[in-house]
Amino acid sequence: MKRENNRTKEELRPVKITRNYIIHPDGSVLIEVGNTKVICTAVVEDKVPPFLKGTGKGWISAEYSMIPGSTKTRKTRDINKLKIDGRTQEIQRLIGRSLRSVVDLESIGERTVWIDCDVIQADGGTRTASITGSFVAMAEAIYKLYKNNEIENMPVKSFVSAVSVGMISGEAIIDLNYEEDSSADVDMNIVMTDKGEFIEVQGTGEEATFTHNDLMSLISLATKGCRELNGLQRTVLGEEISGEIGK
């Protein structure tokens, strides 16, 4: 099959992560994956949800949204609908649990790291880009606590990245843009650590089924892609922060 910009089936779209994109948060990035662009910020707050008060344990919580002009037709803001739609809730929960899975929450004390992912331009893969970008913002925010001697060690145990994969006309491809995603027979989002461990595998047959061999092909593609994204995350964070992750 022919892909945009003559990408191969195994090739990610061009990915760029710009650190310190916003000056006020404790960590912030703009992540660009092809035409998809997401601003991810991390802010540390010295309090936790009520269910964690007095436990000495921290929390990581995520919010996700798409600005009205991020899609071809204007997307109504959730505040104007007086509710968060189901897709938004699903994505922000995915982001939150993906990041919590690699952080020793007791080590950050009774603090909450707020992750905000705002999609400013959407062309497929917004949730996976949000996870990949927000990890960098979170790592920077938590490292600042460590560097300022507010916590005893760097509690981030692994890198986290995510990528979409899918089946179109019997072929496994990686990092689907919107056009590919909307026509895929099978759609899957995979979240992984740099140690090759899976955090989440979301796979669906869109009016189609897939075989065990298809699944293995998709997982193999995602593993390769996530390794590439981990490498970029390391480069963007630099040795000072990357060297402390997983120690």
Q: What is the mean predicted confidence (pLDDT) over 224-229?
A: 98
- CATH number of this structure's domain 4-242: 3.30.230.70
Binding residues, as ranges, are: 87, 125-127
Binding residues for phosphate, as ranges, are: 87, 125-127
Nearest Cα neighbor of 113 from 52, 40, 62 is 62
- Tell me the per-residue pLDDT of 42-81, one tens digit each, with 9 for 90 and over: 999 999 999 999 999 999 999 999 999 998 899 888 776 7
Please give the pLDDT value at position 141.
98
Count of Cβ atoms closer than 10 Å to residue 122 Cβ:
21
Domain limits of the chain? 4-242
Please give the pLDDT value at position 82.
66
Compute and round to an integer the Cα radius of gyration of the chain: 18
Q: What is the mean predicted confidence (pLDDT) over 81-108?
A: 92
Please give the pLDDT value at position 148.
97
Total residues belonging to the chain: 247
- Determine contact, residues 17/237, Cβ cutoff 8 Å: no
Q: What is the mean predicted confidence (pLDDT) over 223-228?
A: 98
- Determine contact, residues 163/174, Cβ cutoff 8 Å: yes
Find the range with the poorest average confidence among 71-75, 211-215, 226-230. 71-75
Q: What is the pTM of this model?
A: 0.95
Nearest Cα neighbor of 41 from 90, 114, 128 is 114
Percent of the chain with pLDDT over 90: 89
Checking if the pLDDT of 137 tops 70, the result is yes
- Determine contact, residues 44/95, Cβ cutoff 8 Å: no
Which residues lie below 8 Å from residue 54, measured CB to CB, with a gap of 6+? none
